[in-house]
Amino acid sequence: MERAVDDLEREQVTIDEECDMILEELRAVVGDLSDLRYGKLASSATEEQVTREINHLVSVCESVGEPLLHTT
């Protein structure tokens, strides 16, 4: 029983670390999209950069949802 508790505690730490990394990625993407919204991006590759950032945001969001789908 004690071993199971230890395993669960380690798993919780791992999940917390993953959540922190995902949150930082999401903040970075939102910050980049905010720059776009307020016209802070001034390059000819803006459309390509926006597409890349949105695709990254989608992949991060999908990776967040995957662990939840596998727990049931």
pLDDT band at 67 (very low <50, low <70, confident <90, very high): low
Domain span at residue 65 reads 2-70
For residue 65, is pLDDT > 80? no
Residues 33-53: what's their mean pLDDT?
72
> 33 CB contacts (<8 Å, ≥6 apart)?
50, 53, 54, 57
pLDDT band at 12 (very low <50, low <70, confident <90, very high): very high
Query: Taking a C-beta distance cutoff of 8 angstroms, is the pair 50, 36 a contact?
Result: yes
Percent of the chain at pLDDT above 90? 19
Number of domains forming the structure of the chain: 1
pTM: 0.53
